[in-house]
Amino acid sequence: MPEKIEVTKFHDWGIPFKNVFFIAGPCSAESEEQLMQTASGLKGSKVNVLRAGIWKPRTRPGTFEGVGKEGLKWLKSAGDAIGAAVTTEVATPEHVEECLKHNIDILWIGARTTSNPFAVQAIADALKGVDIPVLVKNPINPDIELWDGALERMNRMGIKKLAAIHRGFSTYETSKFRNQPIWRIPIEMKRRNPEVPMLCDPSHICGNRELLLSVAQNAMDLLFDGLMLEVHFDPAQALSDAKQQLTPDAYNRLINKLKIKKVSSESTDYKQHIESLRNDIDEIDHQLLKLLAQRMNNAKKIAFHKMKNDISLFQPERWEKIMESRVKDGLGQGLSEDFVSRLYQFIHEESLREQEQVLTD
Ligand code: PEP
Ligand code: MN
């Protein structure tokens, strides 16, 4: 049984913010001037924390790997200049030590590090007894246990100011996103750890500026507690992630367009409508489950006949026909192809599992 994560309330971290916690700043610290210019562009903007990567985990060697500890001083003074707290990524105990020496306010753990429990544990050990907020990005791969496990490792070492950052997942599928959001994973994290604030990093999900607003809005619609966005005074010249960084002006425009949502309303009109529609949905779900159970029973009867006649459980032609006809049917009823095909993959997988059970019973 995973341990319950004990956290300090977000508003008690000592970093003031209104409804949404905003982290903004360049992907990488490149020079003192670049940080100062970006920070001054953000003066007066909704920014609670200034971010910049000092040590950059790059997929291939030979690219810009960060300015190293020298950049910590620049980051701190750029944050001071606009009255914002500062944060950077740590991947080793040495990074932690340097950040603590330079009074960095918040640490974050990057996606590549969360994927590696040895590295996470080494950071957690280095933080034992230190009262500093730690933000844990999801691992590169869509594995919720690694993400949850990293929070638990920090918490076991006494870190109570903890938050999660959703930055999307690397998958084998091609997509318009650099890292697919797979929203059900952060939603499940929130269900497991309702007290842990959940932030969204649209920059690393999107990989380009065009999609940022819609992803940031999605996060607001899903009640995320904050956003981390990459901002550079001159994105075209950025030494890393040039395509996804915003100018300070574009950042302000995006933030101002966001619609911040609340979880409920006292309006009687709203309540009445919602209640009646939700009652319908409850009944529809009951019928759906009844029909699915009937479908599974039929599949089991089929398995029996296949067994008696030495016929394979998997029937490629039939499966192909089902997929084709169900997608067509669904499209005709206004459902998306992607949804219907994923739904049937799921149903088919379960049907095969149930049939296999008949054979082994
Ligand atoms: C970053 O925030 O610049 C970064 C490297 O992010 P991630 O760990 O999400 O790839
Ligand atoms: Mn980046």
In the chain, where are the structural domains located?
Answer: 10-257, 268-360
Mutating to test ligand 1, I would choose from 27, 114, 134, 166 the residue with most ligand atoms within 8 A of its C-beta, which is: 27
What's the CATH architecture for 10-257?
Alpha-Beta Barrel (3.20)
Nearest-CA residue for ligand 1 atom 4 is 110
pLDDT of 173 > 90? The answer is no
At the topology level, CATH places domain 268-360 in: Chorismate Mutase Domain, subunit A (1.20.59)
Residue bearing the CA closest to ligand 1, atom 3:
27
pLDDT of residue 242: 97
Which carries the bigger pLDDT value, residue 76 or residue 174? 76
CA of 244 to the centre of ligand 2 (A): 8
Q: Which residue has its alpha carbon closest to ligand 1 atom 10?
A: 111
Residue from 256, 204, 210 nearest 230 by CA: 204
Buried b / exposed e over 205-225, threshold 16 CB at 10 Å, is: bbbebebbbebbbebbebebb
**pTM confidence score:** 0.90
CB of 29 closer than 6 A to ligand 1?
A: no
Q: What is the pLDDT of residues 72-100, one digit of tens each?
A: 999 999 999 999 999 999 999 999 999 99
Outline where the chain has alpha helix (H).
32-42, 70-82, 93-101, 111-114, 117-126, 144-156, 184-192, 202-206, 212-221, 248-257, 268-308, 316-332, 337-360
